[in-house]
A and B are shown apart, each in its own frame.
Chain A
Amino acid sequence: QQQVKQSPQSLIVQKGGISIINCAYENTAFDYFPWYQQFPGKGPALLIAIRPDVSEKKEGRFTISFNKSAKQFSLHIMDSQPGDSATYFCAASLGNQFYFGTGTSLTVIP
Chain B
Amino acid sequence: GAGVSQSPSNKVTEKGKDVELRCDPISGHTALYWYRQSLGQGLEFLIYFQGNSAPDKSGLPSDRFSAERTGGSVSTLTIQRTQQEDSAVYLCASSAAPRAEQYFGPGTRLTVT
Contact = CB atoms under 8 A, between A and B. Distances in A.
Contact of B106 (A9, A42, A89, A103): A42
A110 interface: no
A96 B91 CA distance: 16
Contacts of A89: 42-43
Interface size class of A (residues with CB under 8 A): 20 to 34
Contact of A32 (B4, B91, B99): B99
Interface residues of B, number: 26
Contacts, number: 54
Interface residues of A, dominant DSSP: strand
B65 interface: no
Contacts of A43: 4, 91, 93, 104-107
A44 B41 CA distance: 14
Contacts of A99: 45
Contacts of B104: 36, 43-45
23 contacts: A6-B42, A32-B99, A36-B104, A42-B106, A43-B91, A43-B93, A43-B105, A43-B106, A43-B107, A44-B104, A45-B104, A49-B101, A93-B99, A95-B99, A96-B99, A97-B45, A97-B56, A98-B33, A98-B45, A100-B35, A101-B42, A102-B40, A102-B42
